[in-house]
Structure formats: C-alpha cells, structure tokens
Amino acid sequence: MAGTSGLGIPTASTATVELSIRVTIENYSMKAFLEALAPGDADWALAGALDPARLPEHIAIIMDGNGRWAKRRSLPRVAGHKAGIGPVRSTVENCARLGIKVLTLYAFSVENWKRPRAEVETLWRLLRFYLRRELPELMKNDIRLEAIGRLDELPTPVRNELQAAVEATSLNRGLLVNLAINYGGRAELVDAVNAILETAQRDGTISALRLDEQMISQNLYTSRTPDPDLLIRTSGEMRISNFLLWQIAYSELYITDTLWPDFGRSDLLKAILDFQKRDRRFGGLNPATPSSAGEAGEPQLIEALGVS
C-alpha cells in the first residue's frame, strides 16, 4: 500500500515497486538479447517486435517430428533424435536470454516404451550425452534443471546422471528447465490423487477427505511452477499427446509445421509473437471490453428472446 516516508515524501506500494523492477529486468534482458543479434537479421526484426512486458512466464514444448525428419532424408529414426539435441540447446539458451522463467520440454512419454528397444536405448544414451555436455553451460548461464515424471522407472545409470545434474544446478536462479521424462498427463493425475489418499490415510483423515482443485494442483509434479502460458507443438500434429493435461487448461496453443530438428530461434520468436497477439480472458471478459451498453440493452434482449 502506498504511503509516505518519515520525511513526508510519498512512497510507492510494494506491488508498484516490484512491477517496476520486473519491467526494468525484462527490458534489460530484451536489450541484451537484441545486442546478440545482427541488425537487419530476420531474427533481429522478430525480437524487436516483442513486447518485453508481455513475455510468457512458462513455455512448454512438445518436441515432435524427429522420426519424420530422418525419414525424409532416408536416415534411421535415431538420426532424427540426435539431430534434435541442437534445437534443445538453442531453445534453452534463447529462453534464458529472453528472461523466460520456466521451460518444460516433453522428452520421453510413458507411451514411448512401446518403441523398438534399440531406439529407446539410444534415447537414453542421447540423454546422458546431453547432460554431460550441457552441464557446464547450464552452470555458466545460471540455469536450473529439474525432471518430472515417473523417474523411479528409469534405467539406473540414466536416473543417477539425471539426479546428479539436478543437484548440481539446484542453486541456480535463472531459467528453470523441466525435462518431462517417462511422463504422462494421466499418470501424473493418478499419482497426485494417490499421494493425497496416502497422506489422508497416514493422518487418519481419509473419512473426511474431499478433493478440490487446489489439493490436486499441490500434488502434481509441477506444483512449484506456474502453469504454462504457451504450449508449442512442432510437426503440425493437432493433438496434446497426454502432456500436462491439468496444467494447460488455459494455455495458448501454437502449432507449427516445423519438425523439431529444424526448430530454431526464428520459430521460437514467431511463437511468442503469436502468443502476444492473443486476448487471454481465462473464461471472463477483457477488462477493456465495454459492457455498459450491453448491460443497458439486456432487458430488451431477454424479452425478445422470450426468456424469463
């Protein structure tokens, strides 16, 4: 709440100060991002069109199209997965430079175990390779790594290296990168409900238990992060694929025909620009929408419709 200092000088409210600090940081991040690009470059123009005050706080990505990318080049599917490592690195770097708070990447679903064993094992090798190669960069750029999913079912070497990377970056305070590994939206909801039931049974409150949205949200893998503002899916497929089913209730969806190995900085910037054109109402009306005229005519409209 605004007030006055001991000298009678007006002071800004805490919220106003925090907003001012955030805008300053966002403008600084955008300035630094632009300075890393060459004037006249297509990405420079795209980045310059962004509103730094309206960047999505949390971006989630369904990284799809590795297999098709390889097939179009008459290569084995694993070649597509290997080619997909580069876009992961560039997307993480660009989100960090832009000042995005959270990036969640769909790396391996609970359904992916159905793929050929050789392909699954290659995916685990690629994940371990990524973790080893990128850990120094994550530390250098103050990026924190976390993983969500049924991690206890991962092969032991993979689980150990993943946990080591999570622990090594745990004190970093920049971009949070969530790797969704052995993840499924339905599985997450089942795990959340089971966690609630187990707690109630342990506390002796099972007979009085009543589930609500807040209770479920607090027991999701993502309970400590905001829901995604923007969900990007590559490869042009029009489906969610069991990804963050609870969390994306009001996320803006952006589908691009670009296959994941071809996804670059331009694609990311275009997705964010498209997001900034959306009118996010969360089921209500935009505060700027005039309503007085409509309300004044509502009795006549109701009468004309024959509704009493």
Q: Which residues are catalytic?
A: 64, 112
Q: C-alpha distances in angstroms, 168 versus 64, 88, 131, 140?
A: 29, 19, 11, 12
Beta strands in 50-151 (DSSP E): 58-62, 102-109, 144-148
Report residue 73: phi and psi, to 5°: -110, 10
Here the tokens at position 211 are 């589930």
CA-based max dimension of the chain: 75
Burial profile 214-250: b = 16 or more Cβ within 10 angstroms, e = fewer:
ebbeebbbbeebebbbbbbbbbeeeeeebbbebbbee
Q: How far apart (Å, rounded) are the C-alpha atoms in residues 60 and 63?
A: 9
- Name the nearest CA neighbour of 183 among 220, 214, 217, 216: 220
How far is Cα 131 from Cα 148, in angstroms, rounded to an integer?
Answer: 15
